[in-house]
Amino acid sequence: MSMAKLLTKAKFLTTAALVLLPFAAQAERGSDGDLKIFYWQAASTLNPYLSGIGKEVDAAALVVEPLARFDPQGTLVPLLAAEIPTKENGGILADMTMITWKLRPGVKWSDGSAFSAKDVVFTWKYCTATGAGCAASNAFDGIKDVVAKDELTIEIRFAQPTPYPYVPFVSSTTPILQEAQFKDCMGAKIASCTAQNFAPIGTGPYRVKDFKPNDVVVYAMNPAYREADKPHFSGVTIKGGGDAMSAARAVFETGETDYAWNLQLAPDVLAKLTSAGKARPVTAFGSMVEYLFLNLTDPGADLGDKRSTVAGGPNKILSDIRVRKALSLAIDRAEIAEVLYGDQGKATCNVVPAPAQYVSTANDGCLAPNAAAAKALLDEAGWKPGADGIREKGGQKLKLSFLTSTSGVRQDTQAMLKEYWKGLGVSVDLRNVSGSVFFGGDAGNPDTRQKFYADVEMYTDNSKGLDQESYLNKWTCAAIPSPVTQWQGSNMPRYCSQDYDALSQVLRKTDGITARAELARKMNDMLVQSYTVIPLVHRGNISGAAKSLNGVSMNPWDSELWDVAGWSRAR
């Protein structure tokens, strides 16, 4: 069976679990009043092409839509497309060099104008334009051309056979933008079109009514939305700010909000909050992993514009793989998972922890910490204990800066890691900044994850959909953030391997789940064994929903707000 057919039928093993209340009688459009959502990491833009991170992608998902998306089981389902193209229905050429998407007829933008194939072509040109610094640029790798055959037909032509063609314009990270609105925002202008980026015109169930960056988004129903009986809520407010604890209290204790996102809390804290009875946890396991990223470039402030760039030179400490491996060896992942995540976390040694076919066993040794081996590596690398217990070499102390977002669990993780590394003779300066800043796309802000003005940083990432090609492409050489890309890019460690890039190219043209999974495992192993990406915990997605909220199911493979149009209030 072909890769395309396998994926569209979702013949995968997955641990995703739905939490879905018995569905009440359907409410009329807009009859359920206002929906209040709490994303404690507030959106800084509503254009996902300027971010690619969850808080912006989800906030935009109510407005702008892709051709297709993934459901909670990872199955590909059409959205703006009329159907999923396959070889069987003629949508994919036999030689796998082209996919043809038929668009859903009658779709309107929220301003009443017609959505067409020309908007799809424009979006491709918009993201791939020279100097754009588009956060999703790797989604369009390997495309030779995108052609509008008529108003409702798109051909994506690939430069080589592409057995898995479901990356461009698929999932919440690559939605379609309206050409009429964004036509003057090409290339280097992409980030400066504030009016467009803060209020994109879309085809989704809602339109932007008001947006205060890093604070709140207010939405009103899209009067041109194609489903006559949806959405059920007349308006939506996504409030940002605070932290995971304040978000959890707002849904579990005070009832101030209907839905609270990303409740990364210690298990005992979450259990106590849940006992109040006002809300329920909404959970599922996908491919979400809490990672450490180790900066291979020099983050020294004295380098100016070359700071944390390849041009600025290698990291004076972490460019030695022995140091990086020592840091990994010292970590007790099982302790972190048990103490800080409970049943919502599993120690992992892999970048790709799911689906099962993709999971490597080559790195399982990391599950048992080995401080003695770590110390031996540092000795071998020439880092000797100083009088104060901190190792030094050539007059330089083995001292690292460690940045992450503000979160109780993340600060506790930092503290645990600091203790593990202290036992090796490594000094660590801990720092955290607001998630709205850390995960923001502001090229002028020094504290973003893309700038990476530190030696180590920590956050969570995960794949969209079950196939791992697009996700693993995040660590190709071309994905390194820099001033040239307006600091957009997904390769935070600045890892660059020609062998890894070559495997990426082979994966792109390989058909069959068995062969693709084998290549994905090899790429996973290269990343893990480079010790530039250090997996810690395979996390469950967990949010909270008021018991009065119907139709909510966690989607670990796409936007968490993937089906907000179907949410309703219990009557």
Each residue of 40-59: pLDDT tens digit?
999 999 999 998 888 999 99
What phi and psi, each to the nearest 5 degrees, are found at residue 382?
A: 95, 10
d(CA 492, CA 320) in angstroms, rounded, equals 17
Query: Does residue 7 have a pLDDT over 50?
Result: no
Q: Where are the alpha helices (DSSP H) in 264-382?
A: 267-274, 321-329, 333-340, 371-380
Read off the pLDDT of residues 221-275 as tens digits, 9 standing for 90 and up. Answer: 999 999 999 999 999 999 998 899 999 999 999 999 999 999 999 899 999 999 9
**What does the alpha-carbon distance between residue 430 and residue 451 come to, in Å, rounded to a whole number?**
17
* One-letter amino acid of 124: W
Residue tagged 């502001």 (tokens): 442
Please name which of 546, 38, 564 lies closest in space to residue 273, comparing C-alpha atoms: 546
Region 428-434: mean pLDDT is 96
Burial 497-525 (b: 16+ CB within 10 A, else e): beebeebbeebbbbeebeebbebbbbbbb
537-560 b/e (C-beta count within 10 Å ≥ 16 → b): bbbbbbbbbbeebbbbbbbbbbbb
Whole-angstrom distance, CA of residue 323 vs CA of residue 318: 6
CA–CA dist 526, 536 (Å, integer):
16
The edge-to-edge listing of strands for the beta sheet with 384-385 is 384-385, 391-393, 396-397
Dihedral sign, Cα of residue 157, residue 159, residue 163, residue 164: negative
Distance CA 373, CA 377 (A): 6
| Beta strands, E only, 465-532 | none
Please say if the pLDDT value at position 330 is more than 70.
Answer: yes
Integer Cα distance of 515 and 120 in angstroms? 31
Reduced to 3 states, what is the DSSP secondary structure of residue 364?
helix
Number of C-beta neighbours around residue 314 at 10 A: 14
Nearest alpha-carbon partner for 559 in 261, 341, 126, 252: 261
Identify which has the larger pLDDT, 19 or 456: 456
Question: How many CB atoms lie under 10 A from the CB of residue 364?
Answer: 12
**Mean pLDDT for the chain?**
93
Band (pLDDT 50/70/90 cuts) for residue 20 is very low
d(CA 379, CA 306): 31
Residue 567 neighbours by CB under 8 Å, 6+ apart: 35, 231, 232, 233, 549, 550, 551, 552
How is residue 559 written in tokens? 């936007």
Domains and CATH numbers, the chain: 30-63+204-285+541-570 (3.40.190.10), 64-189 (3.90.76.10), 288-539 (3.10.105.10)
Local confidence band at 24 (pLDDT 50, 70, 90 cut-offs): very low
Distance CA 22, CA 37 (A): 21
Burial of 180: CB neighbours in 10 Å, binned 0-12, 13-18, 19+: middle
pLDDT digits (tens, 9 = 90+) for 442-469: 888 999 999 999 999 999 999 999 999 9
pLDDT of residue 27: 55
Percent of the chain with pLDDT over 70: 95
C-alpha distance from residue 207 to each of 66, 127, 211, 229 (Å) = 16, 22, 11, 17
Cis peptide before 355 (omega within 30 of 0): yes
pLDDT in tens, 333-351: 999 999 999 999 999 999 9
Expressed in angstroms, the distance from the first to the final Cα of the chain is 46
Instruction: Output b/e per residue, 9-30; b: 16+ Cβ within 10 A.
Output: eeebebbbeebeeeeeeebebb
DSSP label at 135? Answer: T
Cα–Cα distance for residue pair 307/450, rounded to 1 Å = 12
Average pLDDT over residues 503-515: 95
Share of the chain above pLDDT 90, in %: 90
Strand partners, 68: 78, 170
Instruction: Assess whether pLDDT exceeds 60 at residue 25.
Output: no
Q: For position 320, what pLDDT does the model report?
A: 98
Compute the distance between CA of residue 212 and CA of residue 401 in angstroms, rounded to an integer. Answer: 32
pLDDT at 12: 35
Indicate the pLDDT class of residue 78, thresholds 50, 70 and 90. very high
Per-residue pLDDT of 267-323, as tens digits, reads 999 999 999 989 999 999 999 999 999 999 999 999 999 999 999 999 999 999 999
- Please tell me the distance from the alpha carbon of residue 14 to that of residue 144, in angstroms, as a whole number: 33
One-letter amino acid at 558 equals D
- Distance, CA of 373 to CA of 367 (rounded, Å): 14
Pairwise CA distance, residues 571 & 550, whole Å: 10
Q: Which two tokens stand for residue 271?
A: 């259990």
Alpha-carbon distance of 96 to 80, in angstroms, equals: 22
H-helix or E-strand spanning residue 412: helix 408-422
